[in-house]
Amino acid sequence: MDETRPENISIDLLLKSSNKATCEIEVIEDAVEEKFRMFKPFNIVRDPSDHHYVETKSSTLPGNWLEEECSLVNRMVEEWKILREKLPNTICVRAYRDCIDLMRVVIVGLDNTPYRDGLFFFDLHISHEYPISPPIVHHHSHGFYLGINFSRRINNQWVPGKSNILQLLVYIQAFVLNEAPCRSIIDPILPYEKPRTPGFNKYTFKLCCKSMLYTLKNPPKHFEDFVIGHFRKRAIPILLTYEECVYGDATVDTFLWIY
Q: What is the CATH number of the domain that holds 244?
A: 3.10.110.10
CB 146 within 8 A of CB 211: yes
**pLDDT for 7:** 45
pTM (2 d.p.): 0.78
Relative orientation angle of helices 6-38 and 224-245, to the nearest 10 degrees = 100
Report if residue 3 sits inside a domain.
no
Report if residue 76 sits inside a domain.
yes
Report if residue 158 sits inside a domain.
yes
Q: At 187, is the pLDDT very low, low, confident or very high (cuts 50, 70, 90)?
A: very low
Report if residue 152 sits inside a domain.
yes
Lowest mean pLDDT among 29-33, 96-100, 118-122: 29-33
Does residue 256 register a pLDDT over 90?
Answer: no
The average pLDDT across 154-172 equals: 93
HEC per residue, 211-240: HHHHHHHCCCCCCHHHHHHHHHHHHHHHHH
Lowest mean pLDDT among 9-13, 70-74, 131-135, 223-227: 9-13
**pLDDT for 86:** 97
Report if residue 4 sits inside a domain.
no
> Around Cβ 8, how many Cβ atoms within 10 Å?
12
Q: Is 161 left (phi over 0), alpha (psi -120 to 50) or beta?
A: left
Q: At 63, is the pLDDT very low, low, confident or very high (cuts 50, 70, 90)?
A: very low
Question: What CA–CA distances, in Å, run from 120 to 58, 63, 221, 241?
Answer: 27, 38, 14, 18
**pLDDT for 152:** 72
How far apart are the C-alpha atoms of 218 and 245, rounded to whole Å?
Answer: 26
Does residue 59 register a pLDDT over 70?
Answer: no
Range of the domain at 201: 36-258
Lowest mean pLDDT among 42-56, 171-185, 224-238: 171-185
Report if residue 124 sits inside a domain.
yes
**pLDDT for 247:** 64
**pLDDT for 153:** 76
> Around Cβ 41, how many Cβ atoms within 10 Å?
18
Q: At 60, is the pLDDT very low, low, confident or very high (cuts 50, 70, 90)?
A: very low
Q: At 70, is the pLDDT very low, low, confident or very high (cuts 50, 70, 90)?
A: confident
Q: At 6, is the pLDDT very low, low, confident or very high (cuts 50, 70, 90)?
A: very low
CB 118 within 8 A of CB 211: yes
Report if residue 234 sits inside a domain.
yes
Q: Please provide residue 181's backbone torsions phi and psi, each rounded to the nearest 5 degrees.
A: -60, -25
Report if residue 22 sits inside a domain.
no
**pLDDT for 252:** 47
Q: Percent of the chain having pLDDT more than 90? A: 50
Q: Into how many domains does the chain fold? A: 1
Lowest mean pLDDT among 45-54, 72-81, 143-152, 250-259: 250-259
- Terminal Cα-to-Cα distance of the chain (whole angstroms): 67
